[in-house]
A and B are shown apart, each in its own frame.
Chain A
Amino acid sequence: MSLVSATIGALTPGRKKAGDANHWPGLAFMACVFFAYVYLPIAVLIALSFNENELVTIWTGFSLDWYIIALQNEDMIRAAGNSLLIACVASFCATALSTLAAVQMSRDRFKGQSAMNALVALPLTVPEIVTAVASLLFFATLGVTQGLITVMIAHTVFCIPFAYLPIRARLEGLDPRLFEAANDLYATPVQTFRRVTLPLMMPGILSGAVLAFIISLDDFVTTFFVGGAGSTTLPIYIFGLIRVGVSPEVNAISSIMLLVSVAMVSISLLLGRGHERG
């Protein structure tokens, strides 16, 4: 607020200015409502996972028993192993495919390129349930037995845009003169790629890979429809437990998953920040 306006305000009594641009009545209150809405359910879930009582809702005392029981549950461990395996394979494949495509797409201009960009982003547009049942029909018609392999393929496909977009964004931000310089210094295309392009695009590749990993790890719908015997992932396993009913063991497993997700996102953010500084 300028001095002039303050003076005018003082000179014209009866007309009051509405006030400070950064302070609005009710805003802070609504933000509090928002954050309570977002974090209360999570807080309740974590609190109840430490409850020694089996009735889940009534607090009787602190205990780590449910975590111990959950971590000794072999079905759960196996499901978690499947989840990790699928997420590793899918995020690796998706990142590799996306890296290749992004390199060429960013330095090339050709007819139908925007159509190809749209095609790569297709898994983001089509509702997941539609893709899932279409894949189910596809594999069933071809006579492929549904299991780990089909889930890995389906995950790779829907992870592609999540890996592709950060890599592409990183490449767009690079100075093309760097590649010209490498060329001028008689580097072969392969050398240029290995020594110049790849190191420069690494932050994009990393964040794309982490994003794809998290998306695959969290997926339920696609795995539910495309999977079969032997491809039970952690979300599928938890879904089965929740269907049966609320139990303190599910609270503990859910809390662990929550913690892992938050930790991974924090790590990927920190990684990204470190690279920005570099």
Chain B
Amino acid sequence: MTIIDSTAAPVAGYDSRKRNLRRQRLLLIGPAVGAITIFMVAPLLLMAWISIQTRDFSGSVVWNSYSAEAYLRFIFERNLDDSLSLNFDYLLIIWRSLWLAAITTGLSLLVGFPTAMFMATRPKKWRPALVFLVTVPFWTNLLVRNYAWILLLRDHGTINSALMGIGIINEPLPLLHNSFAVSVGLTYSFLPFMVLPIYSSLEKLDMRMVEASFDLYATRLQTLRRIIFPAAMPGVVAGAILVFVPCLGSYVTPELLGGGKTMMIGNLIGLQFGAARNWPFGAALGFGLLAMVLLAMTFYALKSGKSKQGISL
């Protein structure tokens, strides 16, 4: 092609082909990238800008009134006489979100790891069915999943009725509308994200390595520590990120299972656009959440880079 072109009209041919290519890119990639830029990147930039504006008494944004007020609210409270005093209410909510996300990740690992290992040690023909069984709940609606837990956990719910029926307790246990309910619901929502990466890591492990370890008189514990855990590590790290990140920003589960007392960042953000009506503060909180998520992802990028090296060693 190039040879023919260069004999005919070398420069013009090259240029027009380049122009064609550019037009093609613009026509084909442009719409998707444009849609995301206009309806996602631009709103995020607008949010950044609004987070450094003030608001008036009705709650609407006062444009071009730059201030760090919204970010100050994370730690301070403005008194009536305009002085600032420390207020840790919002930090407490952020702390609770981090803590609940961590607990959920831990719980998912605790239940998910043995399950993933169980799946990886089944005969090959059963594995697709097991993967399907693990993913089915993920495809059901998030509200429906949380609603099912309300049915189980509420005062006259299935668990309390059963326990009272047997006679173990006389009064219903307060299972719903607390951190416990939220962490159970979050674990339930994101468990497949932990099981599947670990499973795919373990599936790649040659089981003859484990047999060799046993042949060399390693105990089960030694084999777990020296063979299985290192092999599962990339999956564990990926799973932890896939559970931790959406947990941190969850809205529905704390809203339904947590009640008013167990708010997470997501609900606090939502509140600023509803009843509280403080858009700059809501925008600032949104950025706080985004920063935490990006931090977790950076950590993952570094960690997964390391664990890849570990495998090659």
Interface residues of chain A, those whose CB is within 8 Å of chain B, are 1-2, 5, 15, 17-28, 30-31, 33-35, 37-42, 44-45, 48, 55-58, 97-98, 100-101, 103-105, 108, 110, 116, 119-120, 122-123, 125-131, 133-138, 141, 153-154, 156-157, 160, 164, 214, 218, 220-221, 225, 235, 238-239, 242, 246, 250-251, 254, 257-258, 261-262, 264-265, 269
Contact = CB atoms under 8 A, between A and B. Distances in A.
The secondary-structure label for the interface of chain B is: helix
Interface stretch (B66-74, B82-90, B245-253, B304-312): B245-253
Interface string B131-156: 01111110111111111111110101
B33 A120 contact: yes
Mostly, the A contact residues are: helix
15 contacts: A20-B214, A21-B121, A21-B208, A21-B210, A21-B214, A116-B29, A119-B33, A129-B251, A136-B273, A137-B43, A218-B141, A221-B252, A235-B142, A251-B151, A254-B148
Nearest to B26: A104
4 pairs of A and B residues whose beta carbons are closest in the complex: A127-B249, A30-B114, A138-B43, A41-B148
Interface residues of B, number: 90
A104 B50 contact: no
B220 interface: yes
Contacts of B272: 133
A262 B140 contact: yes
A1 B251 contact: no
Nearest to A234: B141
A185 B215 CA distance: 60
Given A24-B117, A30-B111, A104-B29, A137 B36 contact: no
Contacts of A58: 161
A97 B224 CA distance: 47
Given A42-B140, A127-B289, A261-B140, A246 B270 contact: no
B118 interface: yes
A104 B36 contact: no
